[in-house]
Amino acid sequence: MIKYIPNIISALRILGAIGLLSLNPVSVAFWVIYGLCGISDMLDGYLARKLHAQSKTGAMLDSVADICFVVCCAIRLIPIMQIPKWLWIWAGVIVVIKIVNQVSALVVYRRLCFPHTLANKLTGLLLFLTVPTMSWSIVPIAVVAGVASFAAIEEGHFIRTRKVWTSAPKHLSLCR
């Protein structure tokens, strides 16, 4: 049962992210759940490694939970944020790069590929930390966009050269 704890945490992050959709984005409840979801993102992988419970299913569940969290936050937060046009364009370019990466993964590996690279992890952490500060300054999110750009390009390089590095053991890589 202990080996399922990381996957349960990831599943709870999905439920928490979906719960954000029903909350006012300026409420305390929203930001408490936002914080819990972010902490769970750091906790599930750590526990999976410590409990020797890493699995392809767990890595995929973590990736799905990450995507769900980002999408649900975007749905609730974008309408209330003042985001400049240049940042929208930059974000769109990153999304296009990520889509091209997945198309490349389908060609190379015949499946989607979500490598848990250090740059991708850093992007997630920085995004989690800077979103609450966006009402004060656009500079932190621009830094995140720069890191995310590097992460997306690096991910594509790894996928296309078949040199996918992840924090998981090779036999658990989502791309092999």
Residue 112 is given by DSSP the state -
Residue spans of the domains in the chain: they are 1-80, 82-176
Give per-residue pLDDT as tens, 19-56. 999 999 999 999 999 999 999 998 998 999 999 998 88
Give per-residue burial for 35-62: e unless 16+ CB within 10 Å, then b: eebbebbebbbebbeeeebbeeebbebb
**Hey, how many other C-beta atoms are within 10 angstroms of the C-beta on 143?**
12
Q: What is the pTM of this model?
A: 0.80
- Tell me the pLDDT tens digit for each residue of 79-118: 888 889 999 999 999 999 999 999 999 998 888 888 888 8
